[in-house]
Structure 1
Amino acid sequence: MRTVAGAPVRAGLPTPVVTYALMAINVAVFLITALQAQSVMDNGRGFVNPLSGAAVFDSDLFGRWVLSPLDVADGDWMRVLGSGFLHFGLVHLAVNMFALYILGRDTELVLGRSRYVCVYLISLLGGSASVMAFENGGFTAGASGAIFGIMGAQAVILLKLRRSPAPVIGVIAINVIISVTVPGISLFGHMGGLVAGAAAAAALLYAPQWLGAGQDRAKAVRIGWIGLAVVAIVTLGLIAVRAAQLRSEYGL
């Protein structure tokens, strides 16, 4: 038996190992930054060096991974991915990991482990792409973009199952309001992740139907993976284009 996404239906109550692994990675990265900064509440503390004008963080890992569009444009590409595993303090981490625990488990079971991790990472990169496009200044970090992408994927899954996506849309709306009204939250990072996650899920669930796979399961799987790859390439392409624009604008 297969799920609507083509993932095998496992006997009993399968363990969402990818969700737990992602949570473990986020917690491990946070602990490293907290140890380096010697603070669990202010592990992202930093200052601007008056001589060089560069930002200096108490945690070396935080300073190397936090998303800064100009640094990415200058060739520091690891930031577009690594920033999604950083968090500003224990509360930020706890909120995001709780959301990932609630949302990620069911999504993983429907999409399957390999598809799920791809949708998660594409959502993360989508959030980074949006920040690159619309937030030149400041520093951005957190798994929120990827989590919004999981919400977007859930909405697409519900539509595919012919069920109302209203509950997920309601949660998204509440979080958008929070993103707009609470200072320090990256609305563009959230929206970029949401769009990328929904697009990735649509590529998996709808592209085979649109491209005439019919009942040919092998063809449907192949088209789904190709669609997922296209979304990933477009997302990375947007980051690359924006990086080139920033290099030109700032003479990097």
Structure 2
Amino acid sequence: MDQAVCCYRHPDRETGIRCTRCERPICPECMVNASVGFQCPECVNEANRRTAAPRTVAGGTVAADPFLITKILIGLNIAVFLLVKAVGDRLVNDLGLYAICGNDPFTGQHACIGVADGADQWYRVITSAFLHQEYWHIGFNMLSLWWIGAPLERLLGRSRYLALYVVSALGGSAAVLLISPDVLTLGASGAVFGLFGATAVFMRRMRYDMRPILILLALNIVFSFTWANVSWQGHMGGLIAGTVIAIGMAYAPRERRDLVQWGTLAAVLVVSLALTGVAVAQITS
């Protein structure tokens, strides 16, 4: 008499079906439909692990919500803006970007304030990028962040997009401290201009019609140099940083893509911080 064959996962259940991959006996509860026959759960899981996860154009992981980071950044900017409205100018002075050294008009003593006051004030190079005072300012920046940032986040993936945003903001801050450190500067414009530059690079790389982004970028550059109280220094610093990072991301060879992309990001970050250090040294000397 033949011995009964039982499911390898349920020894109390007889079966006449075997996994088409490993040939282990499986009961109806364990059967997973395959292109030919049935497979056991372990073989299906192993196949899923070996299947490459879908990637974005830049090599990032495809996320369920491709716009999550953009939404979070917009939320943070709006939250800080509401906090400024509730607390007043004190928060602007505490988080804004400036670096000044000179003699106190009341005491006559030499003093430094802002980023020039010491390393513990360097947080201003990033907090200032989330700081807005006027409704038009945050409105314009957040609309630009959504229109430009959301498609770019889907193109890059979350980690690359966030790194691009932050380092572009730092590049804008470095340019401000080098050129006009004595003027209080705030706003997400430096980071947004970095996204503009990155969008232009990827549109060129993907052979899209570049006229719309070039026209938009040109209008924003003209706006930067012609409107009063607009930091063209921060805009151009962010634009340069974002463009350089995007070139590294878009044209990295596939076999060394991660190394080139993150290496470019690291290089721009180091240069931005180094220029910030040079600017502070010039101000305090």
For this structure pair, what is the TM-score category when the shorter chain's length is used for normalisation?
Answer: 0.7 to 0.9
Q: Output the amino acid matched with 1:229.
A: A
Q: Output the amino acid matched with 2:204.
A: L
* Aligned-pair CA distance for 1:10: 4.9
Q: Distance in 2 between matches of 1:133 and 1:10?
A: 38
Of 81, 92, 104 in structure 2, the residue corresponding to residue 62 of structure 1 is 92
Is 2:170–2:238's contact at 8 Å kept on the other side of the alignment? yes
Match of 1:189 in 2: 234
Of 221, 228, 231 in structure 1, the residue corresponding to residue 265 of structure 2 is 228
After superposition, what is the alpha-carbon deviation per residue over 1:141-171, rounded to whole angstroms, capped at 9, x for unaligned?
0001100000001011112212233321211
Q: Distance in 2 between matches of 1:247 and 1:10?
A: 46
After superposition, what is the alpha-carbon deviation per residue over 1:43-82, rounded to whole angstroms, capped at 9, x for unaligned?
xxxxxxxxxxxxxxxx332111111132212222111111
RMSD (Å), alpha carbons: 1.5
Matches for 1:10-159 after TM superposition, within 5 Å: 10=63, 14-37=65-88, 59-70=89-100, 71-75=114-118, 76-159=121-204
Q: RCO higher in 1 or 2 (8 Å CA, sep ≥ 6)?
A: 1
Moved more, 66-75 or 148-157: 66-75
Percent of aligned positions that are identical:
40
Q: Output the amino acid matched with 1:234.
A: V
Q: TM-score, normalised by structure 2?
A: 0.73
Q: Which has the higher helix share?
A: 1
After superposition, what is the alpha-carbon deviation per residue over 1:183-209, rounded to whole angstroms, capped at 9, x for unaligned?
111111111110011111112222x33
Is 1:69–1:137's contact at 8 Å kept on the other side of the alignment? yes
Matched, 1:171 2:171: no
Moved more, 74-83 or 23-32: 74-83
Rg larger in structure: 2
Q: Distance in 2 between matches of 1:80 and 1:165?
A: 32
After superposition, what is the alpha-carbon deviation per residue over 1:196-244, rounded to whole angstroms, capped at 9, x for unaligned?
11111112222x33xxxxx42xx32122112211111111111111111
Runs of 4+ in 1 over 2 A off after TM superposition: 1-4, 8-11, 162-166
Is 1:121–1:146's contact at 8 Å kept on the other side of the alignment? yes
Q: Distance in 2 between matches of 1:138 and 1:224?
A: 34
Q: Which runs of 5+ in 2 are unaligned?
A: 1-53, 101-113
Q: Output the amino acid matched with 1:8.
A: T
